[in-house]
A and B are shown apart, each in its own frame.
Chain A
Amino acid sequence: QVYLVESGGGVVQPGTSLRLSCAASGFTLSNCGMNWVRQAPGKGLEWVAVMSHDGSRVDYVDSVKGRFTISKENSKNTLYLQMNSLRQEDTAVYYCAKMKYCHGFSEPVDFWGQGTLVTVSS
């Protein structure tokens, strides 16, 4: 059974940094492309970042390019999202999300974690 457990969220001030983690189980992260998707309180879904299974392809939504970095540590089967220079508009629940076909890139998400809330406020 696939499980994704996010952690690392919290309340931070604008301009600061935070690193989110997503511990995966039931599959091998090194074999699977992953995404981060966020949802501001009471709002819709916004895709944030993607990494291919082998790490050779990554991409970000324009609003986080240069500030956020997606990475993974295969030995820990864990996905990360390093978030720097945080802004109030980054306030959201952040979900890590597994690609349906692990070796693809343009794929829907078939498993989601429960999410971790990031609140950016002064």
Chain B
Amino acid sequence: DVVMTQSPDSLAVSLGERATINCKSSQSVLYSSNNRDYFGWYQQKPGQPPKLLISSASTRESGVPDRFSGSGSGTDFTLTISSLQAEDVAVYYCQQYLSTPWTFGQGTKVEIK
């Protein structure tokens, strides 16, 4: 199974400041035949289901604010919130969907400092 490890487990950032979350996979999730990373980021607010923010490592979903960006390839990925807003308080999960079992990171809790 591909193990996804996020860091940090939690972080507190001041409003308007940058938040950075890292995710490392135990195996590459880059499919060489199409040069696509089978990797995504989700946001989960309390009492709600997760919401897809980023797919293919860096493709922002429709309606997701442009302060959210994804980068990386292969085994190392980053989610950046360029200017943290109050509504961004949530737990963020990374996921690989290259090979079953699809696996998620343990989650990173983002709070306001």
Q: Is the CB of B52 within 8 A of A47?
A: no
Q: How many residues of chain A are within 8 Å of chain B by beta carbon?
A: 21
Q: Is the CB of B104 within 8 A of A45?
A: yes
Residue of B42, B97, B104 near A106 (CB, 8 A) is: B97
In this assembly, does B65 line the interface, its C-beta being within 8 Å of a C-beta of chain A?
no
Mark A residues whose CB is within 8 Å of B. 35, 44-47, 50, 59-62, 95, 100, 106-110, 112-115
Minimal beta-carbon separation of B14 from chain A (angstroms): 26
Q: Is the CB of B106 within 8 A of A106?
A: no
In this assembly, does B107 line the interface, its C-beta being within 8 Å of a C-beta of chain A?
yes
Q: Which residues of A contact B49 (CB under 8 A)?
A: 95, 112-115
Residue of A60, A61, A100 near B55 (CB, 8 A) is: A100
- With known contacts A44-B107, A114-B49, A115-B49, A108–B100 Cβ distance under 8 A: no
Q: How far is the CA of A35 from the CA of B101 in the complex (A)?
A: 11
Q: Is the CB of A112 within 8 A of B97?
A: no
Contact-size category for B:
20 to 34
Minimal beta-carbon separation of B58 from chain A (angstroms): 13
Q: Which residues of A contact B107 (CB under 8 A)?
A: 44-45
A-B contact count (CB 8 A): 51
In this assembly, does B50 line the interface, its C-beta being within 8 Å of a C-beta of chain A?
yes
Q: Is the CB of A46 within 8 A of B95?
A: no
Residue of B102, B105, B106 near A50 (CB, 8 A) is: B102
Q: How far is the CA of A21 from the CA of B49 in the complex (A)?
A: 17
Q: Is the CB of A59 within 8 A of B101?
A: yes
Minimal beta-carbon separation of A43 from chain B (angstroms): 9
Q: Which residues of A contact B97 (CB under 8 A)?
A: 106-108
In this assembly, does B103 line the interface, its C-beta being within 8 Å of a C-beta of chain A?
yes
In this assembly, does B61 line the interface, its C-beta being within 8 Å of a C-beta of chain A?
yes
Beyond A44-B104, A112-B50: 13 further Cβ-contacts under 8 Å?
A44-B93, A44-B106, A45-B95, A46-B104, A50-B102, A59-B100, A100-B52, A106-B38, A106-B97, A108-B95, A109-B42, A110-B52, A110-B61
Q: Which residues of A contact B93 (CB under 8 A)?
A: 44-45
Q: How far is the CA of A113 from the CA of B50 in the complex (A)?
A: 9
In this assembly, does B30 line the interface, its C-beta being within 8 Å of a C-beta of chain A?
no
- With known contacts A106-B38, A110-B61, A112-B50, A47–B101 Cβ distance under 8 A: yes
